[in-house]
Every structure is written in C-alpha cells, then in structure tokens.
Amino acid sequence: MDQIEASMNAKIRLFFTVFTILFAGFHFWVLFVLTENFSLHFIYNFTLAAFFIFGFIAIPIGYRVSQKEPRSKFYFLSWIGYIWLGFLFTSLWISTLFYILKLLINDIYLNSYHVLGLICVVCLYALFKGLNDPVVRIHKIKFDKKLDLLKIVHITDLHVGLLRHNKAWLERVVKKINALDADFVVLTGDLVEGKWSTVFPMIQSLKSVQARKGKLYVSGNHEFIHGGLLWEKTMTEMGWTSLHNEHKIFEHQGQKIMFAGVPDRMVRRFESHLRSIPDEALKTDEKVDCKILLAHEPASVLDLKSEKPDFLLSGHTHGGQIFPFQMMVRMVQPLVLGWKTIKGIKVFAHPGTGLWGPPMRLGTENQIVLLELSGSTR
C-alpha cells in the first residue's frame, strides 16, 4: 500500500510542477492587469505585487502541509494556500474580462481599484458559500414503471480530512441525513482526504447513519490516492454495503430494487489489476423493477455496453464548484450538474456534499440530495 501511495505522490509531484509553472503565468497576468498596465500609485502596485508573490508561494506550501501525516501545528498554512488558489482563479477570469472591456470600450469608467474590489467581494461571497454546511435539496422524479414512493438520500465527495471537513462537520451532516427518514442512503465516492490513521477517527459517525432498507457505498478516485481498497473494507465494517462491480437486490413494498456499484473508472491508474465494469455490476437473471447504478463519475455511463440501468447516480464533478470551472469539467464529463438523459439512461451529477481545494463555491452549493422516486402504483 505504501508503494502505491509513493507512486501516486511521484505523479502528483510531476503534475504539481507543471502546474506551478502555469500558475506563475496566471499570477503574472492578473498582476499585470491590476498594476503595470495602468498608472496607479507606487504603494498600491508594490503592496499588490507583494501579496501575489506571497500567494504564489503559499499554494505549494499549503498543499504540502495538507499532505503531511500526522497533521502538524502548521496546518493553518493549508487554509491560506487553498483560499489563495480560489482567489487566483476568481481574479483570473474577472481581470481578463476587465482587460477585454478596456480594449473594446475606451471611455469605460472602470479602473483596477474597482476590479480589485469586485474580486474581493466575489471571493468573500464564494468563501461564505463554501464554508456553509450542506443544504438539503429534494428532487421528485417520476418513474415510467410501477414503483411505490422510494426515498434515497444521495451524498458524495465528502473529502473528510480536508480543511474544515472534520469529525464535527460530518456529525452535522449525518444528523441532517437521519432527519430525512430515507429508505436508502448512498455515498458515491471521494469519502476521504488523508491517510487511514488520520481520517478513520473522523468518520465514525457514518456508523450511525439511518436508512430503512440499506446504506450503499462505492469508492471514488481519492480513496485510491489514500489507501485504495482499505476504504471499501472499512465502510463494510461500519455497516455499509460496499459495491465493487457487483449489485444487491432489495425488496421495497413488494417490488425489487437493484443497486449496482462500480469503483471509480480511473481505478486502473492506481491499481493495475482493478477495473470498473458497470455491465458486470448490473448483470442479473433476476427480474427487478428498478435498476440504479452508483458510480463516482457521470462518465461511467459511457462504459455501459450491454446493460442499461434506469438511473445512474454520480458525483466527482462538484458541479464545477467555482465558476467558470463548469465549462472545463464539461470537456471531460458528459454532465456537470443535475440530470441528463444519456444513452437512454437518466444520469444525475451531484454537486458534492463537501468540496476539494479552495473552500469556496461560486454558482454551486454543498448539498445533501433527497431523491423521491415514484411511478404508477399497483
């Protein structure tokens, strides 16, 4: 397991080196727009440049500190680094838009003071949204087959262990879940952010999640960054049903409901002998009334060849988390947020119960989703 994690850390370091160069360019561009391109006071220019240099350094330091095990007293540096990362991306698109407007409209009454103020306001709002506990959103879905009301709580992308996603935060999430009185609770991956020894004590409240019929779990890519199959074993021991290219059929008001599940489709990159095979997970000779596939990524729908579930529930995208990442996510996923029918299958992309990276959200929110499925009754 340590060898796998060492290999992953090497890939992350290479990835991080490439992006450090890219981020240097981003910093320079935003600083250019906000200072050197306009005649402003020297103290303003110097102070802003100092902040950007500090922020550029804070990003790699914050990331490295967040990966340290056990957590050190310098973990607060992770907060600084991740918040600055969110500030950078927000200032990037706002300052670029401002620069284009200045080129197109010569007499526009805007200067970089205005733009910097707008960036700060937007970032504070995004930070407020990101630090909020998840809200409950209800989706009422009409099913075109016979189905009595079925209540499913869907959570995903908890990333427990990152920044404020700690034991107390998860306990509040579990309390909200239990108040919904669901038939099933499903968790579609990215449960953790850290080593087992650090995060395991934080997730104990998952034992107390209440569901009348069952609690089901599939792993995301971050589980395989931080321990792989160990998390499936851990969740099983905590009373959850871990689905790894397999399914389980439940009785519900005289009807048969299948939940099938696959590990994240990138699992082969982490452990070469593993695969994500949704067709295998769904295959059965038993007649069922409703088939629901649990997968970490919406793109798992593209892996289906011979089987066809009624629904696919997924996470991973975070809904884009911070505008305008929705457009970037759409380049690699068939769906970023909400519902879409793909290959005749109703696919749902959850915006995430938690978040990753900057503790900020813009255009999205942290959610616990309650799905109320109903069809024609018998």
pLDDT for the residue numbered 104: 81
Q: What is the pLDDT of residues 87-104, one digit of tens each?
A: 999 999 999 988 888 888
Whole-number pLDDT of residue 378: 47
Arithmetic mean of pLDDT over the chain? 89
Is residue 301 classed exposed, middle or buried when 0-12, 13-18 and 19+ CB atoms within 10 A define those classes? buried
Which of 348, 328, 330 has the alpha carbon at shortest distance from 338?
A: 348
What is the rounded distance in angstroms from the CA atom of residue 208 to the CA atom of residue 240?
Answer: 10
Q: What is the pLDDT of residue 68?
A: 78
Tens digits of per-residue pLDDT, 154-208?
Answer: 999 999 999 999 999 999 999 999 999 999 999 999 999 988 888 999 999 999 9
Mean pLDDT of the region 120-148: 92
Does residue 5 have a pLDDT over 60? Answer: no
Using the CB atoms, write b or e for 314-350: b if 16+ within 10 Å: bbbbbbbbbbebbeebeeebbbbbeeeeeeebbbbbb
In this predicted structure, what is the pLDDT of residue 124?
96
The radius of gyration of the chain from alpha carbons, rounded to an integer in Å, stands at: 23
* pLDDT for residue 39: 54
- Residue 348 pLDDT level (bands cut at 50, 70, 90): very high
pLDDT greater at residue 138 or residue 75: 138
Instruction: Write the pLDDT tens digit of every residue in 274-300.
Output: 999 999 999 999 999 999 999 999 999
Structure confidence at residue 23 (pLDDT): 86
Complete domains list, the chain, with CATH? 2-130 (no CATH), 133-376 (3.60.21.10)
**What percent of the chain is predicted at pLDDT more than 70?**
93
Percentage with pLDDT > 90 across the chain:
63
pLDDT at 46 over 60: yes
More confident residue, 130 or 142: 130
Query: Quick one: pLDDT band at residue 323, thresholds 50, 70, 90?
Result: confident
pLDDT at 4: 53
Amino acid at 265: R
**pLDDT at residue 330 in the model:** 87
Helices 2-31 and 76-104 sit at what angle, rounded to 10 degrees? 40
Q: Tell which wins on pLDDT, 268 or 9.
A: 268
Instruction: Kindly indicate the confidence band of residue 38, based on its pLDDT and cuts at 50, 70 and 90.
Output: low
**Phi-psi category of residue 222: left, alpha or beta, with phi > 0 → left and psi -120 to 50 → alpha:** alpha
pLDDT tens column, 233-242: 999 999 999 9
